[in-house]
Amino acid sequence: MNTLTKILASTLFLLVAVTGCSETETPKEGVKYTVVATPTADIADVVEVFSLGCGHCRNMELMLPEIKKLAEVDIEQVHVTFNESAQYAAYLFYTAAIQSNGKPSAELKEALFSFVQEQAADLDEEGRKNKLDEIFGQYALVSPFDLNDEQKEQVYQQMTHANQLEQNAQITSVPSFLVKGKYLVQNGAHDSLEDLANTIRFLSEKQ
């Protein structure tokens, strides 16, 4: 093979490689994400929709710092209100959120995950109250049972907003990522954390 042929072959290989890479790195609508019919306004650019009662959400919680780093975005959280049990858990989360500038610590969230998923079912009503008083007290926060009227209204507003977002985006499973209020990421279509973060970053930059 002469020198010119080698150069042409190398150039062709490079072009094919770059094209393949570009196709892989550009998330496709309908595959990696969908566009929701009814966008939600006035929310953060990237939102994780989750539930304290969801085991997969608890696992995702451990991955969020890395996703934020890889996608170069901040991620806020919205708790679902699908049903009575989800509404109960949402009340706990938003009780913590309104007292933590919307961002309860990772340690507090893990304590709430543990309470909802592992402890609550084995306690009677008084036991659940005592345990929640203990959890919130550890972080110098008011217990869900001791909120004043203003705080209860704040929690109610957060839950109402969450419910509206669920309906707009037609959220049926968690965890889910909603970007710019209108792009719903299809978690199952991604092969890795890096792949997921790439889609989130792409959508966050999409006009």
Domains in the chain with CATH codes: 33-205 (3.40.30.10)
Read off the pTM: 0.86
Q: Residue 48 — very low, low, confident or very high, per pLDDT cuts 50/70/90?
A: very high
* Under 8 Å between Cβ of 94 and 79: yes
Helices and strands in the chain: count of H runs, count of E runs:
7, 5
Task: Give the C-alpha separation, 135 to 110, whole Å.
Answer: 11
The pLDDT assigned to 207 comes to 76
The pLDDT assigned to 5 comes to 44
- Is pLDDT of 137 > 80? yes
The pLDDT assigned to 25 comes to 76
Q: What is the pLDDT of residues 22-33, one digit of tens each?
A: 345 799 999 999
**How much is the average pLDDT of 162-187?**
97
Secondary structure class of 29 (helix, strand, coil): strand
